[in-house]
Structure 1
Amino acid sequence: MADDRPLAVRARGWGWRHASRLAWAVRDVSFDIAPGERVLLLGASGSGKSTLLHGLAGVLGGDDDGESEGELLIEGVPSTAARGRAGLVLQDPDSQVILARVGDDVAFGCENLGVPRAEIWSRVDAALDAVGLDVPRERPTKALSGGQKQRLALAGALAMRPGLVLLDEPTANLDPDGVAEVRSAVASMLEAHDATLVVVEHRVDVWLPLVTRVIVLGAGGVIADGHPDAVLRDRGEELAADGVWVPGIPPRHPAPPMSREGAPLLQARDLAVERVRNHPVAHAIDVTVRAGSALAVTGPNGAGKSTLGLTLAGLIAPASGDLTASERLADGAGSQPIRWSSRQLLTRVGTVFQDPEHQLLSRTVADELAVGPRALGLGEAEIRHRIDELLERLRLSALAEANPYTLSGGEKRRLTVAAALATAPRVLVLDEPTFGQDARTWAELVALLARLRDEGSAIITITHDREVVRALYADEYRMPRPEAMS
């Protein structure tokens, strides 16, 4: 059999449990996927979708990392013995870029597989062409947009000629143009190279034109399986109630704000922001952050949204212009947030980074929530009260003693939101707070943010999620495309 033929997949009672966890991440999964099928894998947050994809890719680890049960086979061979036959593309574009130049990055997987050097560059060129990434091989990878980086990751997987392509929320942090780019790139890739496809994605409607089958994971393993139209028509209401995003059944939105916006807490005037000194990524920014309001920072990938969020949060110094905190927010700490100590920031501005793992510090979920309150010197009884309330509000109670790194992407996101809330900050800055959430946890998280807004906090959300903007009745500051800045 040629290495690049589409592969068959079989699961029989398969499950995986992380070494530090009592509960199984996924269990009792059984299905057969025929060569060349295109499958959309759905399920509520924490149902084990990403774990299953990592199992198929053979990258879950050995006995020290956890235990498995049942069978997970690729062409009749255990997936752990078939590494290199599956290409896995993750949700975070930046985490997949390895080398400094586009061509070298695409070639990396081929080199690891021992592909003859004379063949590698023809594969690289063919893969770049197949995914529509029309840039020179010498282009620096750091110069690519988010959508281009996902195309790059797809090209790297395609160059290895895998018979099984696994996509784990590949459009999670992309703007609408980037989402369209990646879906188009996947379609082009499959036209150029026939492969079996399994994609995990909450944006169901994006992938329906491309997939031929839907498999839904739940507490009892596979809870629905069939043609997309049939599954979503016959089981749509039930699946939506369990948290699956079903087209035409939107999640519940919170009520409009209970009162008018309050006094200004932060004011930016002619602000420029930068990550690298003397290289501003956005400028001429004028925004006001008010108590009891929500501000949505929107715009394309690469426009500087996250950099603006970190600047407003007092974590990055302004490149130029003014960022001033009101006396109500500063409370004696001075008007320049960048000059506040980490302890002063705790009760004034809380920050939730785009990548949850960038702010995980502790060995258990409960300990993670205690970090901020302990830094404030609160008593153990008050700390326990805050932890228990947040665990309950964000559906994390069953995971209190779990290692944060073993949580699903959606669970990690809720944990970092909870950790920011544990110190009761007056301003909360959240970078893509709803990525990885199922419909139920999305609604609960948005309702929590609306409640904080109504209690007088200021919410700043950096987002591509238009539903969040509408649900929070947020004022919108849209940042221009980088090339549009003068």
Structure 2
Amino acid sequence: MGSTTGPRGARVELSGWGWRHSGRTAHALRGVDLTVEPGERILLLGASGAGKSTLLHALAGLTGPDGAIAGDQEGTLLVDGAPADRRRGAVGLVGQDPETQLVMARAGDDVAFGPENLGVAPELIWPRVDAALAAVGFPYGRSHPTGALSGGEKQRLALAGALAMRPRLLLLDEPTANLDPEGAAHVRGVLSTLLMETEATLVLVEHRVADVVDLVDRVVVLEPGGGVAADGPPGPVFTEHGAALAAQGVWIPGADPAPAVPVAPGGPVLAEAAGVAARTPREPGVRAAPPRTVLSDVDLAVAAGTATALTGPNGAGKSTLLMMLAGLTRPHRGVVLPRGPLAGADRRPLCRWPARRLARHVGTVFQHAEDQFVTGTVRDELLFAPLRAGAARAEAEGWVGELLERLRLTALADMHPYTLSGGEKRRLSVATALSSGPLHAPDVLVLDEPTFGQDTRTWRELVELLGALRAEGRAVVMATHDEPLLRSLADVRVRVAGGRTEACGDGTERAGPRPERDGG
């Protein structure tokens, strides 16, 4: 793919380094002593909330006196002998949420943004842009609107933007988390080629440890609120510390969690999509591309007491279909109707239900967690739905307290939701959909990537909570690329590809021609 980074990697030195976020009493990290030599490839591990993303942000120069993230710093953090906030041009960061990294309306302009700000000669910028887009397998041209991309496509675009800057220090925070299996494998191949062709230093955070362990030559494990708990080549680290790390929630190759999930009871159909089609919004401007069809003639039935999983490639329309099933998006054509017991509440299409009624019967977890936060603290966020629905405060507080404990959010109860890490935000977003308690939970739960960014302990709790609601007769519908989640919870897998769906009731995916009506 050609060289996409500079001729040599950066050197990183941390001595007694610590960081405390503004408004927090506890340090995210403290006493970190770490040296990374030029060209080293580091896999950064730790339990959810251990400070992995915080460390990446610090290496990218986003903390410190002149940084964008407010807080208190101690110790020293140097990149090539200078404070990190003075070396930003040498560093490329792809964060957990690519949505926050896209700054331009068109894909090519977004990738060009970094090189332009680094003063790259204009005649060199567009060859860099094209090479970076091709390297990550971006499926559209330069002019494609960034607002029309799926989460996985935005992740690819953000990675292309980092590669086009040709950084000497590349920082990647869950770079394949929202990608389909084929896309994740492609990105790993890109990174492997990149690391062979250049001497760029890599610091990688990734929960799919088994998939990336061959890319790195060193594993560094962070202690929550502390420093480095383990450091060395992958084999010795996993051999010597594997059991202890697994107990802390770190994903260890060959040690996937085994949640206790009751058998799915099944039940009547609660919602049905019939002949549903969806199109992209019309873009402004006389030269804007016309709307394109995302989904066409989709039929899908969602039954009580089952978990339905939407799988398939990025950009196929999984999130779009979820939002229509949740009643939050009106189909371009076709209809999503309540069925069975759900029709007893309102027989109109779900998209025509009043907001309060829809929220009572259909709980939704968005792809971007921040889209659903409406209060100023974690605790108030969880109390909002049950109190609004008329639950007694004592009952609501009891269940919310249990959720906080099970999902390891108790210490964050008084924090603003926007200040949480990516994994913590995801846990909170799922918890809000469950906050009415087992007896008052919505009839249908619609979740977009519900296990993103979780360590093994919180992953297990989330799966067991969803399994318990399924056992009580709720319908669970989720879009996910998480294979352990699919194995543990999915009763029906619906593959979304090419604007169509195909489903099987035996939990497997079936290839081949699409039947006349499927998903029932």
Counterpart residue number, 1:459:
476
Q: What residue in structure 1 maps to residue 169 of structure 2?
A: 164
1:241 pairs with 2:244? no
- Tell me if structure 2 keeps the 8 A contact 1:294–1:458: yes
Q: Which runs of 5+ in 2 are unaligned?
A: 283-290, 502-512, 515-520
By how many angstroms is 1:255 displaced?
A: 3.5
In the alignment, does 2:432 pair up with 1:419? yes
Q: CA deviation at 1:396?
A: 1.1
AA aligned to 1:232 is F
Determine if the alignment matches structure 1 residue 178 to structure 2 residue 178.
no
Partners in 2 of 1:142 and 1:348 — Cα distance? Answer: 30
Q: What amino acid sits opposite 1:40 in the alignment?
A: L
Distance change in 2, residues 1:238/1:426 (3 Å): same
User: Which residue number in structure 2 is paired with residue 18 of structure 1?
Assistant: 21
Contact 1:343/1:375 (<8 A) preserved: no
SS at match of 1:58: coil
Residue 18 of structure 2 contacts residue 28 of structure 2 at CA under 8 Å; is this kept in 1? yes
1:60 aligns with 2:63: yes
> Any conservation in 2 of the 1:146–1:178 contact (CA below 8 Å)?
no
- Say if 2:268 and 2:304, in contact at 8 Å, map to a contact too: yes
The one of 251, 261, 264 equivalent to 1:255 is 261
Separation in 2, partners of 1:352, 1:358: 9
1:46 is aligned to 2:78: no
Deviations 1:236-258 (A, max 9, x none): 1221111111111111132341x
Paired letter, 2:15? R
CA deviations on 1:418-446 (whole Å, 9 max, x unpaired) are 11112321111110001101112111110
More displaced stretch, 135-144 vs 57-66: 135-144
Letter paired with 2:17: W
**How has the CA–CA distance of structure 1 residues 163 and 431 changed in structure 2, closer, same or farther, with 3 Å as cutoff?**
same
Contact 2:97–2:422 (8 Å) recurs in 1: no
Code of the residue aligned with 1:403 in structure 2: it is H
Distance 1:27 1:112, change over 3 A: same
1:295 alignment partner, one of 308, 316, 325: 308
Would you say the 8 A contact 1:292–1:454 is kept in 2? yes
| 1:130–1:188 contact (8 Å) kept in structure 2 | no
Report the 3-state secondary structure (helix = DSSP H, G, I; strand = E; otherwise coil) of the residue aligned with 2:272. Answer: strand
Residue of structure 2 equivalent to 1:82? 87
Residues 211-230 of structure 1 deviation map (CA, whole Å, 9 limit, x = unaligned): 11010112332111100111
- SS of equivalent residue, structure 1 residue 478: strand
Higher mean C-alpha deviation, range 138-147 or range 223-232: 138-147
Q: Name which of structure 1's ranges 428-437 and 147-156 shifts more when overlaid on structure 2.
A: 147-156
Displacement of 1:397: 1.1
Inter-partner Cα distance in structure 1 for 2:41 and 2:465: 36
CA contact (8 A) 2:309 2:477 kept: yes
- Cα distance in 1 between the residues matched to 2:422 and 2:277: 32
Match for 1:433: what amino acid? P
Distance 1:138 1:342, change over 3 A: closer
**Are residues 285 and 135 of structure 1, via their aligned partners in 2, closer, same or farther at CA, if it must alter by over 3 Å?**
closer
Pick from 271, 275, 296 the counterpart of residue 270 of structure 1. 275
Shift of 1:126: 5.1
Structure-1 separation of matches of 2:356 and 2:215: 50
Aligned counterparts of 1:126 and 1:307: Cα–Cα separation in 2: 30
Over the matched positions of the two proteins, sequence identity in percent amounts to: 54
Which residue matches 2:294? Answer: 281
Structure 1 residues 483, 269: closer, same or farther in 2, change over 3 A? Answer: closer
Matches within 5 A, 1:196-207: 196-207=201-212
Q: Alignment partner of 2:336: what SS?
A: strand
CA distance in structure 2 between the aligned counterparts of 1:482 and 1:207, rounded to whole angstroms: 31
Instruction: Give the letter for the 1:28 counterpart.
Output: G
Report the counterpart of residue 429 of structure 1 in structure 2. 446
Assess, with a 3 A threshold, how the Cα gap between structure 1 residues 124 and 239 changes in structure 2: closer, same or farther: same
- Going from structure 1 to structure 2, the CA distance change for 1:322 and 1:134 (only over 3 Å counts) comes to closer
Q: Which residue of 2 aligns with 1:472?
A: 489
TM-score, normalised relative to structure 1: 0.92
* Distance across 2 between alignment mates of 1:41 and 1:334: 51
The one-letter amino acid paired with 1:184 is G
What amino acid is aligned across from residue 50 of structure 2 in structure 1?
Answer: S
SS at match of 1:209: helix
SS of 2:8's equivalent in the other structure is coil
Alignment partner of 2:14: what SS? strand
SS in structure 1 of the partner of residue 342 of structure 2: helix
Matched with 1:37 is 40
Aligned-pair CA distance for 1:360: 1.6
Q: 2:117 aligns with which of 112, 117, 120?
A: 112
Describe the shift of the 1:273–1:144 C-alpha distance in structure 2 as closer, same or farther (beyond 3 A).
closer
Which residue, 299, 305, 326 being the options, matches 1:313? 326
SS of 2:215's equivalent in the other structure is coil
- How many angstroms apart in 2 are the aligned matches of 1:331 and 1:249? 45
Distance 1:241 1:436 in 2: 17
Deviation at 1:327, TM superposition (A): 4.9
* Residue deviations 1:48-93 (CA, integer Å, cap 9, x gap): 1001000000113658821111111111211122222211012344
How much is the aligned-residue C-alpha RMSD, in angstroms? 2.6
Q: Counterparts of 1:127 and 1:280 in 2: how far apart (Å)? A: 27
Q: Distance in 2 between matches of 1:267 and 1:136?
A: 36
153-162 vs 224-233, which deviates more? 153-162
- Change in Cα spacing, 1:481 to 1:246, as seen in structure 2 (3 Å) is farther
> Is 64-73 or 375-384 further displaced after alignment?
375-384
Change beyond 3 A, Cα 1:483–1:108: farther
Tell me if structure 2 keeps the 8 A contact 1:20–1:403: no
**Does the CA contact (< 8 Å) of 2:6 and 2:200 recur in 1?**
no
User: Cα deviations across residues 77-132 of structure 1 (Å, max 9, x unaligned)?
Assistant: 11122222211012344443333444432221122123343443454455456656
Work out whether residues 64 and 73 of structure 2, in 8 Å CA contact, stay in contact via their aligned partners in 1.
no
Of residues 381, 389, 392 in structure 1, which corresponds to 2:405?
392
Per-residue deviation at 1:135? 6.7
Q: Distance in 2 between matches of 1:132 and 1:284?
A: 28
2:241 equivalent to 1:224: no
1:432–1:462 CA contact under 8 A, matched in 2: yes
Residues 284 and 80 of structure 1: is their aligned pair in 2 closer, same or farther, counting only changes over 3 Å? same
Per mean C-alpha deviation after superposition, the further-off stretch among 124-133 and 279-288 is 124-133
State the secondary structure of the residue aligned to 1:429: strand
Q: How many residues align?
A: 484
Mark the CA change 1:226 to 1:387 in structure 2 (over 3 Å): closer, same or farther: same
